Structure 1
Amino acid sequence: MATISSPGVGTSGLDVKSIISQLVALEKKPLDTLKLQAATVNTKISAYGQIKSLVSTLQDAASKLTSVTGWNGVNTTSSDSKYVSAGAVGGTLPTSFSVEVQSLAKAQATASAALLPVGGALGAGTLRLELGKWSVAPASFTPSSGQPVDITITATDKLSDVASKINGANAGVTASILTDASGERLLLRSKNTGAEAGFRLSVMEGGDTDIASAGNTDATGLSRLVAGSTVTQAGADAKATVNGIAVSSATNTFASTISGVTFKAEQVTTAPVEITVAKDDTAVQSNIDAFVKAYNAVNQLLQDATKYDAKTNSAGLLQGDSTAVALQNSLRNAIQSVTSGGGAFKRLADVGITQQLGGDLAVDSAKLSKALKESPEDLKNLFRNTGGGSADGIAVQLKALTTDLLSNKNTGFFKSKDDTLQLSLKRNVDDQARLLDKVDAYEKRITQRYNALDKQMSSLNGLNAYIAQQVTAWNKSGG
């Protein structure tokens, strides 16, 4: 640190800027502590965010073990999925059946007669699009219960304008234009497949609302879009047989033909395709493994965050944090709980899931597989029984606990902890702001004082030089 020289002959003034800078730095020293505290709080906020994420994963894993479908998993196979694919919901009874596909579902498609000149205006009028069903013999159209869609066409609209207006009308039909040597054609296609998803295009010109009148079908003006048009593909349902019984679907997916099973016609078959639904215990095994993995992830993070390493004399970020320890104990108590609703199984250890040193869970696969094979209902009840209180299954209890922990109410563990940390962070920011204000005021105050002192010393130096000159002159005159 620079020193202040005593004023006197030869003094060139004080280094005021350096002195003030060093004094201000001393005043700002507490800011380093505040910044370190803020960094620690932010790190804790991040840590609790990670813990919350892992607890949420644990809640999801517990939820799967409390779900009926999670315990009634099934495996669905097709002898040739290139022709017929299939799936089934959990709980579907084991079954098998054969499927033959005679035809796939089709969407109605039409093409207008060729129009010339290409790019020319068609004429004014109104296009009407109706959805419904066509009968073949005699050809007739039965509109569906929905309202028809009317589209206004102006005298200057070209075929491209018409197609654009149809596509923008949300009428259940898509439009495109085909151009070849004979002219341009309006192509229409139903958005949906099936016999009930057909459509009819009609024209009304000059205020005539009778779509069957001669003026609206005479192949002049806008009526050229309907006169001479052809159905290039009729709307049709998919047709198949299940064990020899005829079935149909508006789409290629048969969702309600066999209870719990959905199969899809991919191609017309050349031979029967066998669909088999069987119980799938691997889904239960997978859900239990996911549950154990999720619990261990939470436990390991809490273990690392709260431990003290005597060898390195280092403490985890949350070491001594009573709320983190309480969370760890709550989760362990839930895992170690005894349920009276599990039949032959009362605790996780009964089915080969044991707690190791440090709190992690380990799975004895052989013991768990035996329980799943020989006592599936007892195993299910161990996890998902809902008798209330001590009769609740382990997964039910853990799901209830994690739901409370993750609640967004003020009583929720993570919400409460985050609010506390955020408040601490806000106070720290306020403390830093107050300290900086105090330092600014201090800097202004001492700057004024040292500048005044520097001026005074400069004045004294000048007086000292004058007196020295006078003494010298006096000595000379006295000699």
Structure 2
Amino acid sequence: MAIDIASTLGVGSGINTAQLVADLTSASFDPRENAVGTRMTTANARISALASAKSSLDTFSNALTELLKSSSYNGQPVSNDASIATVSLIAGGIPKGLPAQLEVRQLAAAQVLQSSTLTSATAVAGTGDLTLTVGSTVKTISLTAGATLADLATKINASGAGVTATVVTDQSGARLVLKGESGVDKAFTLTAEPNADTDLQRFTWDGSAGSMTRSQTAANAKIRLDNVDMEFASNEITTAIPYVRIDLNKAAIGTTVTLATDQPTSSMSDLVQEFVAAYNNLKRALNTSMGTSGSAGLLSSDTGAREMSRRLATLATMQLSDTGTYKTLSDLGVRTERDGTLTLNTKTLNAALAADPEGVTQLLNPTVSSTTKPGLGGALKGITDYLNGTSGPLASSKAVYDKLKTSLQDQLDKLTDDRADYSARLTKTYSAMQTQLLRLKSTQSYLDQQISAWNGGD
């Protein structure tokens, strides 16, 4: 019996060789592409989880730093009688010498001169030169013919001698008023030069007498601080108590004002509680990404996440100050639990605040942060800076994932190219096979005709 080769191999039978090529290609490449794709998805998820952990840490650290800048979390100098004197903190150091007893015996004052009354600000002031002397500063005030009272004030103000000139106009007319800076050393004179005409000589003062009237004498502020007499040129005193500014408001001989430090006891208690709550939110999120008992998280094997967890765990026992009774958060009742979260014993914290409020304040939020006194914000910032450093653990982990992602993408690109090549080879092979089968079919038809002819001849 003759064998129908074309029918057996499917030539002309409707078999879809294109689908056959696609199926063979998929069978060969889909498993490998799916495996690489799964690894790519995991790598992307880990990159996202690591970025989320880093962002949460940065947010926590920055929020704490900004919060501690508030005056609510700093010990502030205060006065028990603000009508006599007020006090404020000077940045850069810790106030020393408080509490202190202050008596304001005299306020600093500026010398004030006033001229006789003229008709208006546009009245002629005179012609010639005046000499304005303030300590060692000497300025020449020159007026030309026709210069007015307003011109004279403008010339004095432009001299830069530290004397302010104004023209005061009321119902009686216009007067020139001169005011210097406070303090005895800022007393000034205004004298006429030989070329000054009679009109200009109306504006003179030699220190004790002159054409102008002295309505206020320059004076220094006089205070008694802890029974030590002191004298200052200004009512704003910044050198009597280190890092404390004293503003004198009125003299009150015989009245003592107490200057002390108001420690933010209640707000510091709130600060510790808020810190513990925020820390626990961060730690629980990190625990989830690293995996809990019995389940693995995306970052369970990540060295950066593990180092972040380990560093954060040291906050409770890290030394925040090298002096004082309280040196760590654990001294204030903060304890680390087995899952890494923190708990706070409020009784311990309240006892510490009651015993030494200043010490607790300087422990948590020192006026001047240093390597030995970083405070809570400084300690967390140190951890954050290390983890986020160019060669730090988080950057190193990200670099590993980025490298893996690049490698996986290269593999996917190569598989795509290999898939296309493989499909092309199969298509070429089946095309060649189809051509050969067509030839066989043609030969078979010829043989069938010959055989039929032979049989007919029989």
TM-score range, shorter chain: 0.5 to 0.7
For residues 55 and 273 of structure 1, the distance between their equivalents in structure 2, rounded to whole angstroms, comes to 44
For residues 373 and 323 of structure 1, the distance between their equivalents in structure 2, rounded to whole angstroms, comes to 42
Counterpart amino acid of residue 179 in structure 1? T
* Aligned position for 1:119: 122
Quickly say closer, same or farther: Cα 1:77–1:361, change in 2 above 3 A: farther
Q: Would you say 1:170 and 2:160 are equivalent positions? A: yes
Per-residue deviation at 1:177? Answer: 0.7
For residues 321 and 374 of structure 1, the distance between their equivalents in structure 2, rounded to whole angstroms, comes to 45
For residues 140 and 333 of structure 2, the distance between their equivalents in structure 1, rounded to whole angstroms, comes to 69
**Aligned with residue 313 of structure 2, among 333, 347, 350:** 333
* Aligned position for 1:456: none
* Aligned position for 1:225: 203
Counterpart amino acid of residue 96 in structure 2? T
Q: Would you say 1:55 and 2:56 are equivalent positions? A: no
For residues 84 and 127 of structure 2, the distance between their equivalents in structure 1, rounded to whole angstroms, comes to 49
TM-score, scaled to structure 2 = 0.53
Is this contact kept in 2: 1:55–1:298, CA < 8 A?
no
Quickly say closer, same or farther: Cα 1:331–1:232, change in 2 above 3 A: same
For residues 221 and 362 of structure 2, the distance between their equivalents in structure 1, rounded to whole angstroms, comes to 43
Per-residue deviation at 1:86? Answer: 4.5
* Aligned position for 1:18: none
Deviations, residues 390-436 of structure 1 (Å, cap 9, x unaligned): x99985754532344566xx44789x69x99xx99xx9xxxxxxxxx
Quickly say closer, same or farther: Cα 1:295–1:330, change in 2 above 3 A: farther
Is this contact kept in 2: 1:342–1:380, CA < 8 A?
no
For residues 232 and 376 of structure 1, the distance between their equivalents in structure 2, rounded to whole angstroms, comes to 50
Counterpart amino acid of residue 177 in structure 1? V
Quickly say closer, same or farther: Cα 1:118–1:367, change in 2 above 3 A: closer
- SS of the equivalent of 1:401 reads helix
TM-score, scaled to structure 1 = 0.52
Quickly say closer, same or farther: Cα 1:103–1:345, change in 2 above 3 A: closer
Per-residue deviation at 1:56? Answer: 3.0
**Aligned with residue 96 of structure 2, among 75, 92, 95:** 92
* Aligned position for 2:11: none
* Aligned position for 2:111: 108
Per-residue deviation at 1:302? Answer: 6.7
**Aligned with residue 235 of structure 1, among 193, 203, 218:** 218
Per-residue deviation at 1:234? Answer: 1.1
> Structure 2 unaligned runs (5+)?
1-46, 205-209, 292-296, 366-370, 407-458
* Aligned position for 1:208: none
Report the RMSD for the aligned CA atoms in angstroms.
5.6
Deviations, residues 48-76 of structure 1 (Å, cap 9, x unaligned): 66742431344578999xxxx98xx6865
Quickly say closer, same or farther: Cα 1:224–1:346, change in 2 above 3 A: closer
Is this contact kept in 2: 1:173–1:189, CA < 8 A?
yes
Quickly say closer, same or farther: Cα 1:254–1:158, change in 2 above 3 A: same
**Aligned with residue 252 of structure 2, among 251, 254, 269:** 269
Count of aligned positions: 338
**Aligned with residue 402 of structure 1, among 384, 391, 394:** 384
> Structure 1 unaligned runs (5+)?
1-40, 132-142, 204-210, 311-315, 428-479
Deviations, residues 139-178 of structure 1 (Å, cap 9, x unaligned): xxxx23xx32345544454332332343344321222111
Quickly say closer, same or farther: Cα 1:237–1:344, change in 2 above 3 A: closer
Is this contact kept in 2: 1:352–1:365, CA < 8 A?
yes
Counterpart amino acid of residue 101 in structure 2? F
- SS of the equivalent of 2:174 reads strand
* Aligned position for 2:342: 361
Quickly say closer, same or farther: Cα 1:84–1:301, change in 2 above 3 A: same
Q: How does 1:177-256 map to 2 (within 5 A)?
A: 177-180=167-170, 182-190=172-180, 192-203=181-192, 211=193, 213=194, 215-216=195-196, 218-220=197-199, 222-226=200-204, 228-242=211-225, 246-256=229-239
For residues 235 and 354 of structure 1, the distance between their equivalents in structure 2, rounded to whole angstroms, comes to 62
For residues 159 and 314 of structure 2, the distance between their equivalents in structure 1, rounded to whole angstroms, comes to 58
For residues 124 and 357 of structure 2, the distance between their equivalents in structure 1, rounded to whole angstroms, comes to 74
Quickly say closer, same or farther: Cα 1:327–1:197, change in 2 above 3 A: farther
Is this contact kept in 2: 1:58–1:291, CA < 8 A?
no
For residues 103 and 377 of structure 1, the distance between their equivalents in structure 2, rounded to whole angstroms, comes to 33
